[in-house]
Amino acid sequence: MLAGYAKASGQAPQAVRGQQFFDATHGKEWSCSTCHTKLPTAEGTHASTRKAITPLAPAANAKRFTDSAKTEKWFRRNCNDVLGRECTAAEKADVLAWLISLKP
């Protein structure tokens, strides 16, 4: 998936940029870390529903990012909540590069 996002964006993913994106607000109330925590190897909690969210980082949750349709569905929903629009391929690649780099 990372290679596909990188190819679509035309640039190399940068994990540092992905972490910055993940932790920042982008004109809306929430950031990615609002629900997924600043350390996405831990369980999160949805800000509105208070439902538990399994760890986002693949090192802590091997099922993450293994189903492209599911990944796209959640990127679409979550990016809309955080940005008010869909994420670009470059944003997805950067965030995914950072999440993949995390250790449990």
> Which pLDDT tens digit goes with each residue over 33-88?
999 999 999 999 999 999 999 999 999 999 999 999 999 999 999 999 999 999 99
Q: In this model, does residue 5 exceed pLDDT 90? A: yes
Mean pLDDT across 10-26 = 97
pLDDT score, position 104: 84
Q: In this model, does residue 6 exceed pLDDT 90? A: yes
Is 77 buried (19+), middle (13-18) or exposed (0-12) by CB count in 10 A?
exposed
- DSSP strands (E only) in 1-104: 44-45, 52-53
Mean pLDDT across 8-33 = 96
Question: For the chain, which residues make up each domain, given as ranges?
Answer: 2-101
Mean pLDDT across 3-23 = 97
53 has which bridge partners? 44
- The architecture (CATH level 2) of 2-101 comes to Orthogonal Bundle (1.10)
Mean pLDDT across 15-34 = 95
Q: In this model, does residue 94 exceed pLDDT 90? A: yes
